[in-house]
Amino acid sequence: MKMVCVIRYEIDPYQREAFERYARTWGHVIPRCGGHLLGYFLPWQGTNYVGWGLIAFDSLTAYETYQLRLREDAEGRANFEFAQKQRFILKEERNFVEVVDGTFELPATS
Protein backbone atom coordinates (compact mmCIF):
# COMPACT_ATOMS: atom_id res chain seq x y z
CA MET A 1 0.00 0.00 0.00
CA LYS A 2 1.53 3.26 -1.12
CA MET A 3 -1.28 5.82 -1.11
CA VAL A 4 -4.47 6.46 0.81
CA CYS A 5 -7.54 8.34 -0.35
CA VAL A 6 -8.88 10.23 2.67
CA ILE A 7 -12.51 11.24 2.16
CA ARG A 8 -13.96 13.79 4.57
CA TYR A 9 -17.75 13.96 4.59
CA GLU A 10 -19.90 16.66 6.07
CA ILE A 11 -23.10 14.81 6.87
CA ASP A 12 -26.53 15.77 8.09
CA PRO A 13 -26.26 14.85 11.80
CA TYR A 14 -29.95 13.89 11.80
CA GLN A 15 -29.27 11.25 9.12
CA ARG A 16 -26.43 9.43 10.84
CA GLU A 17 -28.09 6.04 10.21
CA ALA A 18 -28.30 6.75 6.46
CA PHE A 19 -24.58 7.51 6.35
CA GLU A 20 -23.88 4.34 8.32
CA ARG A 21 -25.89 2.30 5.78
CA TYR A 22 -23.97 3.99 2.95
CA ALA A 23 -20.64 3.20 4.60
CA ARG A 24 -21.56 -0.44 5.30
CA THR A 25 -22.44 -0.95 1.65
CA TRP A 26 -18.98 0.29 0.63
CA GLY A 27 -17.60 -2.32 3.02
CA HIS A 28 -18.01 -5.01 0.39
CA VAL A 29 -18.19 -2.94 -2.83
CA ILE A 30 -14.80 -1.22 -2.42
CA PRO A 31 -12.75 -4.43 -1.92
CA ARG A 32 -14.62 -6.09 -4.80
CA CYS A 33 -13.59 -3.19 -7.06
CA GLY A 34 -9.94 -3.31 -6.01
CA GLY A 35 -9.60 -0.83 -3.14
CA HIS A 36 -8.19 -1.73 0.26
CA LEU A 37 -10.80 -0.31 2.63
CA LEU A 38 -9.16 0.88 5.85
CA GLY A 39 -12.55 1.91 7.18
CA TYR A 40 -15.41 4.35 7.40
CA PHE A 41 -15.81 6.40 10.55
CA LEU A 42 -18.81 8.15 12.08
CA PRO A 43 -18.64 11.08 14.48
CA TRP A 44 -18.56 9.93 18.07
CA GLN A 45 -17.71 12.86 20.35
CA GLY A 46 -17.16 16.47 19.44
CA THR A 47 -18.27 17.50 15.97
CA ASN A 48 -21.43 15.62 15.02
CA TYR A 49 -21.41 16.27 11.28
CA VAL A 50 -18.05 14.92 10.04
CA GLY A 51 -17.48 11.37 8.80
CA TRP A 52 -14.43 9.80 7.17
CA GLY A 53 -13.62 7.10 4.65
CA LEU A 54 -10.07 5.78 4.10
CA ILE A 55 -9.21 3.65 1.09
CA ALA A 56 -5.69 2.48 0.25
CA PHE A 57 -4.13 1.64 -3.11
CA ASP A 58 -0.78 0.28 -4.24
CA SER A 59 -0.42 2.87 -7.00
CA LEU A 60 -2.15 5.57 -8.99
CA THR A 61 -2.79 2.97 -11.69
CA ALA A 62 -4.53 0.76 -9.12
CA TYR A 63 -6.71 3.71 -8.10
CA GLU A 64 -7.63 4.47 -11.71
CA THR A 65 -8.55 0.80 -12.32
CA TYR A 66 -10.63 0.86 -9.12
CA GLN A 67 -12.53 3.94 -10.34
CA LEU A 68 -13.40 2.22 -13.63
CA ARG A 69 -14.63 -0.89 -11.82
CA LEU A 70 -16.61 1.19 -9.34
CA ARG A 71 -18.48 2.99 -12.14
CA GLU A 72 -19.42 -0.40 -13.62
CA ASP A 73 -20.52 -1.94 -10.31
CA ALA A 74 -24.33 -2.03 -10.02
CA GLU A 75 -24.34 -2.02 -6.22
CA GLY A 76 -21.85 0.85 -6.15
CA ARG A 77 -23.98 2.92 -8.54
CA ALA A 78 -27.05 2.17 -6.43
CA ASN A 79 -25.20 3.35 -3.31
CA PHE A 80 -24.26 6.65 -4.98
CA GLU A 81 -27.92 7.07 -6.02
CA PHE A 82 -29.07 6.34 -2.46
CA ALA A 83 -26.81 9.13 -1.16
CA GLN A 84 -28.05 11.59 -3.78
CA LYS A 85 -31.70 10.76 -3.11
CA GLN A 86 -31.43 10.91 0.70
CA ARG A 87 -29.14 13.98 0.70
CA PHE A 88 -27.34 13.04 3.92
CA ILE A 89 -23.93 14.00 2.47
CA LEU A 90 -23.74 17.79 2.47
CA LYS A 91 -20.13 18.10 1.32
CA GLU A 92 -17.35 15.71 0.35
CA GLU A 93 -13.64 16.31 -0.10
CA ARG A 94 -10.86 13.93 -1.09
CA ASN A 95 -7.20 14.10 -0.33
CA PHE A 96 -4.53 11.65 -1.36
CA VAL A 97 -1.67 10.97 1.00
CA GLU A 98 1.28 8.65 0.73
CA VAL A 99 2.37 6.27 3.44
CA VAL A 100 5.70 7.09 5.08
CA ASP A 101 7.73 3.88 4.94
CA GLY A 102 8.33 2.33 8.34
CA THR A 103 5.37 4.08 10.04
CA PHE A 104 2.25 2.11 9.12
CA GLU A 105 0.86 -0.99 10.84
CA LEU A 106 3.83 -1.34 13.17
CA PRO A 107 3.48 -3.90 15.94
CA ALA A 108 3.56 -2.69 19.52
CA THR A 109 6.91 -3.06 21.19
CA SER A 110 7.59 -3.40 24.89
Residue 77 lies in a domain: yes
Determine the Cα–Cα distance for residues 2 and 4; give it in Å rounded to an integer.
7
Residue 108 lies in a domain: no
Q: How many domains does the chain have?
A: 1
Per-residue pLDDT tens for 26-55?
999 999 999 999 999 998 888 999 999 999
Residue 3 lies in a domain: no
The CATH code of the domain that includes 21 is 3.30.70
Q: What pLDDT sits at residue 103? A: 82
Residue 84 lies in a domain: yes
Domain assignment of residue 78, given as a range: 15-98
- Nearest by Cα to 29 from 81, 90, 73: 73
> Residue 13: how many CB atoms within 10 A of its CB?
14
Residue 26 lies in a domain: yes
pTM for the model stands at 0.89
